[in-house]
Amino acid sequence: MLGRYLTEIKNFEKASKHLNDALKIFVGLKERLNVGKVYYYMGKRASAICNKSIYQKHLNKSLKIFESLGAKGWQEKVKKTLKESSKK
């Protein structure tokens, strides 16, 4: 996902655009797993720019999607990320 890469290289403005575009595409295609992934990476982007409320909102959305799909690996990844952020 390009938005994920752009977040990693700290190009947050472009990352936001690409993540929003990806979200629209995956919602339209009804690809819930990918919608969950996009929300996860939107949360990671929000964390990188120190927006904790948006960070938690996006990660919680992703967690609900992963739980509804039974995507255990992704559930654990989100829970671990949320747990680590609560220590900061």
Encoded tokens for 22 = 């990806």
Q: Are 12 and 49 in contact (CB under 8 A)?
A: yes
User: CB atoms < 10 A from the CB of 59, how many?
Assistant: 23
Domains of the chain by start residue, with CATH: 2-86 (1.25.40.10)
32-81 residue pLDDT tens: 999 999 999 999 999 999 988 999 999 999 999 999 999 999 999 999 99
- 24 pLDDT above the threshold of 90: yes
